[in-house]
Structure 1
Amino acid sequence: MILIKNIEVYSPKYEGRKDVFVSGGKISLIEEDINFENKKIKVIDGSDKILTPGFIDQHVHITGGGGEGSFKTRAPEITLSKLTKGGITTVVGLLGTDGTTRSVENVLAKAKALKEEGITAFIHTGSYGYPSVTITGSVQKDICFIDEVIGVKLALSDHRSSHVSNLELQRVASDARVAGMLSGKAGIVVLHMGDSEKGLKPVREILDDTEIPVKTIRPTHVNRREELLIEAFDYAKIGGKIDLTCGMDDDLTPGKCIKRAIKDNVPTENITISSDGYGSWSNYDEEGNLIKMGVSSVSSLHKEFKSMINELEFTVEDALSYITSNVAKCLEVYPRKGCIKEGSDADILLLDKNLDIDTVIANGNLMIENKEVLVYGCYEHI
């Protein structure tokens, strides 16, 4: 049990200075003044800090991405403390280009490991390719029967994709939609968007030709180029959910894109930000040869949050929404996740006056305190 005293609470909306009591993995009480006299209750003085929901990173290659420059370029698995030091208390894992030497079973096993180590983890079945790689042999069955699976990954408008037809994309979206309905999950298609000029045109075409709800198909990396971003803004205006990726070119950072979206009257509740952490990034020459690659960091989510406030003059509550409540609502796990409310999961961050991460609580357990990691993943010290 943890009692956080006298702290400014953002849910992400500013709620004022409160006391917050955590027990049984949940936020049990939020009051002006809470007093318990019990040696079993850990008391934290929050008078010089702010309290926010834990970050939700919905696009992380938890088993490592890469492999596009041969076997030696396979990125390693992520570790627990990499996530918690980035303020991430809920993560969604998925495959990337490589659905051959890596499998959805690998991703599921890693998600289960992260859950055992203390945070919340979901995954998507599938990868870049079509037909989708799965665990049960069926996208519908993966989503319906495996607790951690909430959607399916697919790539579009990318030279590394399977170049799916509109009909194939329709079938994947329909499978995800129905499975989500049957299991009470989001049931979504996370659509990796590449650099092709085709952009989101196939998505708009199948929405026009079918009854598939617009919320089913979720394009990500939409800030990778200007033309795609403009398409994505139009998509968000008709109710689609779009995801911006950290680490893009300076003019296309998530914060700057959101500033533009606000001016263009794009519904900001339809925008989220993710890190693409532990996925490889690649540069190719004019002949398509790989010339450079690297691995993205999950800390980019926190860095973007700070940049939005310090450099782009977002309020704390506005900047928070794109990595907490908006994401939770899009994944249909709100208000269990993404907010500070009585009855919500106790996924909590304490930030200092510089907005640096001081304390991380995941599912009611202290993971980091006073910037010191208390809980490491298995084998992290080897």
Structure 2
Amino acid sequence: MLLIKNAQVFAPQALGNVDLLIAGGKIVAMEKQLNVSGFKLDEYDAAGQWLVPGFVDSLVHITGGGGEGGFATRTPELNAVDAIKAGVTTMVGVLGTDATCRSLGELFGKTQALNAIGLHCYMHSGSYQLPVQTLTGDLRKDIMLIEPVIGVGEIAIADHRGSQPSWRELARVASDARVAGMLSGKSGVVSVHVGEDESALDVLHEVVANTALPISQFYPTHMGRSDSLIAKGAAFARLGGYLDFTTSTTDDILAMGERRASESVQIALEKGVPLSQMTFSSDAQGSLPHFNAAGQLDGLEVGGIGSLWEEVARLIEAKVLSVSDALKLITENPARILGLAQGKISLNGGADFAIIDSERLAVSGLVSRGKWLMRDSKILAKSMFDR
């Protein structure tokens, strides 16, 4: 049993100074000045630090990504310690451009390894390309029969690295994912990688215009690539769609016209997009490539999972959003869209939360599944290979 005292709790709604009692991986009591006797427990004095839901990262290349410049440019897989330091308790693993040398089987294995360490890790079937590659040979079976599989993607549109899907092809995949999600109690979400081409979200609009599929079935990401794409995304959101902004970027990419996630959400809010329809994801371990005018790779960096909180902290520090609203971008909102139970602090809910040093706006602790993975900035979680 774990008793957290003197924490400023954001659920993500601001609850003030509240004590939490954790047992069996759940929050079993939430009260002001909670006193517990007769039990052996671990008591932790948060000393006024923030206690917030563990962050939910909807797009992580947990087995690595990249490769657009040849085999030497393949990016490394995610180190669980990096996720823990970043305050992330829940993530979704995806394949990217390369679904030949990186496989869904490898993705599944890494998903389960991260779960074994104490995090919550899910995955999508498929990759950039259509026809969809699957584990079982059938997308519906992947989602319905394989527990950590919750959707499909990230399917690439408006990008020269994608398979240039027609609206009919994309509609068939979305239909299979939707029905499988309904039958299994999962989201069946279609994660969509949006590239730099001017066609942007056109194929998604075609699907919605020509079928009975709801616009909310699609979850487009990288929506801060340009002011033009943000504007098109705002129109998409006004029809009921979701927007995801990528927090990993580089100075070179920003110089090309991309907006930081923290700037993108401000622009979208000014264009009338409800905060509830927006999220951040890190695209961690994905490549951050730069292509020249001829479409040739001339630069490559690696996305970092720590960028997720960094962009939220920018919003808080600049007082663009309240702490509660800024946190929704990486907790409540993505969890709801993905159909996950995480992303909030609630009585009898899962004990997955981060401790934030409010003065430095830095993650100092992490509890997942009711157990400390990092305490007072010291990593406690260990894999079989850590000494």
- TM interval, shorter chain, is over 0.9
* Aligned counterparts of 2:264 and 2:170: Cα–Cα separation in 1: 27
Instruction: Verify the 8 A CA contact 2:269 2:275 in the aligned structure 1.
Output: yes
Instruction: Verify the 8 A CA contact 1:54 1:324 in the aligned structure 2.
Output: yes
* Aligned counterparts of 2:225 and 2:272: Cα–Cα separation in 1: 21
- Cross-structure match for 1:187: 188
- Cross-structure match for 1:345: 350
* Aligned counterparts of 2:350 and 2:39: Cα–Cα separation in 1: 23
**Range that drifts further, 356-365 or 252-261:** 252-261
Query: Cα offset for 1:12?
Result: 0.6
- Cross-structure match for 1:368: 374
- Cross-structure match for 2:207: 206
What is the SS of the residue equivalent to 2:100? Answer: coil
Instruction: Verify the 8 A CA contact 1:123 1:151 in the aligned structure 2.
Output: yes
Instruction: Verify the 8 A CA contact 1:111 1:122 in the aligned structure 2.
Output: yes
What is the SS of the residue equivalent to 1:252? Answer: coil
Normalising by structure 1, we get a TM-score of 0.97
- Cross-structure match for 2:138: 138
* Aligned counterparts of 1:202 and 1:288: Cα–Cα separation in 2: 22
- Cross-structure match for 2:293: 286
* Aligned counterparts of 1:377 and 1:54: Cα–Cα separation in 2: 20
Write the mapping of 1:111-130 to structure 2, written as runs, cut at 5 A: 111-130=111-130
* Aligned counterparts of 1:263 and 1:70: Cα–Cα separation in 2: 41
Matched, 1:156 2:157: yes
Write the mapping of 1:47-66 to structure 2, written as runs, cut at 5 A: 47-66=47-66
* Aligned counterparts of 2:229 and 2:139: Cα–Cα separation in 1: 27
CA offsets 1:219-252 (integer angstroms, 9 cap, x no match): 1101112221111111111111111101342761
Query: Cα offset for 1:378?
Result: 3.8
Structure 1 residues 302 and 378: alpha-carbon distance in aligned structure 2, compared to 1, 3 A threshold: farther
Instruction: Verify the 8 A CA contact 1:80 1:376 in the aligned structure 2.
Output: no
Match of 1:264 among 259, 271, 276: 271
Instruction: Verify the 8 A CA contact 1:54 1:349 in the aligned structure 2.
Output: yes
Amino acid at match of 1:173: A
Match of 1:301 among 288, 304, 308: 308
* Aligned counterparts of 2:301 and 2:221: Cα–Cα separation in 1: 19
* Aligned counterparts of 1:140 and 1:88: Cα–Cα separation in 2: 29
Instruction: Verify the 8 A CA contact 1:255 1:312 in the aligned structure 2.
Output: no
Query: Cα offset for 1:38?
Result: 4.9
Amino acid at match of 2:335: A
What is the SS of the residue equivalent to 2:245? Answer: strand
Query: Cα offset for 1:40?
Result: 2.8
* Aligned counterparts of 2:248 and 2:83: Cα–Cα separation in 1: 17
- Cross-structure match for 1:356: 362
* Aligned counterparts of 1:43 and 1:176: Cα–Cα separation in 2: 44
Over the aligned positions, Cα root-mean-square deviation in angstroms equals 1.3
Instruction: Verify the 8 A CA contact 1:81 1:377 in the aligned structure 2.
Output: no
Instruction: Verify the 8 A CA contact 1:350 1:360 in the aligned structure 2.
Output: yes
Structure 1's unaligned 5+ residue stretches are none
* Aligned counterparts of 1:285 and 1:265: Cα–Cα separation in 2: 34
Query: Cα offset for 1:59?
Result: 0.3
Amino acid at match of 1:110: K
Write the mapping of 1:71-110 to structure 2, written as runs, cut at 5 A: 71-110=71-110
Query: Cα offset for 1:47?
Result: 2.3
* Aligned counterparts of 2:384 and 2:306: Cα–Cα separation in 1: 20
Structure 1 residues 38 and 300: alpha-carbon distance in aligned structure 2, compared to 1, 3 A threshold: farther
Point out 4+ residue stretches in structure 1 off by more than 6 angstroms.
none
Instruction: Verify the 8 A CA contact 1:103 1:133 in the aligned structure 2.
Output: no
* Aligned counterparts of 2:95 and 2:384: Cα–Cα separation in 1: 22
What is the SS of the residue equivalent to 1:105? Answer: helix
Structure 1 residues 85 and 22: alpha-carbon distance in aligned structure 2, compared to 1, 3 A threshold: same
- Cross-structure match for 1:252: 259
Alignment size in residue pairs: 379
Structure 2's unaligned 5+ residue stretches are none
Instruction: Verify the 8 A CA contact 1:122 1:148 in the aligned structure 2.
Output: yes
Amino acid at match of 1:195: E
Query: Cα offset for 1:48?
Result: 2.6
Instruction: Verify the 8 A CA contact 2:230 2:268 in the aligned structure 1.
Output: no
**Range that drifts further, 52-61 or 64-73:** 64-73
* Aligned counterparts of 2:50 and 2:110: Cα–Cα separation in 1: 32
Matched, 1:229 2:253: no
What is the SS of the residue equivalent to 2:44? Answer: strand
* Aligned counterparts of 1:377 and 1:109: Cα–Cα separation in 2: 14
Query: Cα offset for 1:39?
Result: 6.2
Identity of aligned residues (%): 38
CA offsets 1:230-276 (integer angstroms, 9 cap, x no match): 11111111111111101342761122121122222211101010000
Query: Cα offset for 1:380?
Result: 5.1
* Aligned counterparts of 2:386 and 2:308: Cα–Cα separation in 1: 22
